Amino acid sequence: MLSIKFLVEDLGVFERDKTSLKLKILGLVFYIQFSSLRRVAKALSKMYRVSKSAIWKWIKKFSEKINVNLSKMLRKPCCWRKAW
């Protein structure tokens, strides 16, 4: 978690300080582990009231700074499916 904290601080990902930086970093770490906005929002809501859309914005800002594509990979068709 410390390496993500240093990365976020060095890149200057978040400009506003309405929500603490520690909570935003924790949200990023949870999203990397859980891959679900709903689960992350539920876990973080124990400490601070946060919405799924806020978490999505944090993830989007972070991915823009480190040039990561969040789009889903297309699945290869299974062998039992017929290709149309």
Count how many domains the chain has.
Answer: 1
Answer yes or no: is 73 within a domain.
no
Question: pTM for this one?
Answer: 0.66
Answer yes or no: is 30 within a domain.
yes
Answer yes or no: is 54 within a domain.
yes
Structural domain boundaries enclosing 38: 2-8+19-66
Answer yes or no: is 83 within a domain.
no
Q: Tell me: the pLDDT tens digits for 11-43? A: 777 777 777 888 888 888 888 887 888 999 999
**In contact, 50 and 30? CB cutoff 8 Å:** no
Q: Tell me: the pLDDT tens digits for 42-72? A: 998 888 888 899 889 888 888 887 775 555 5
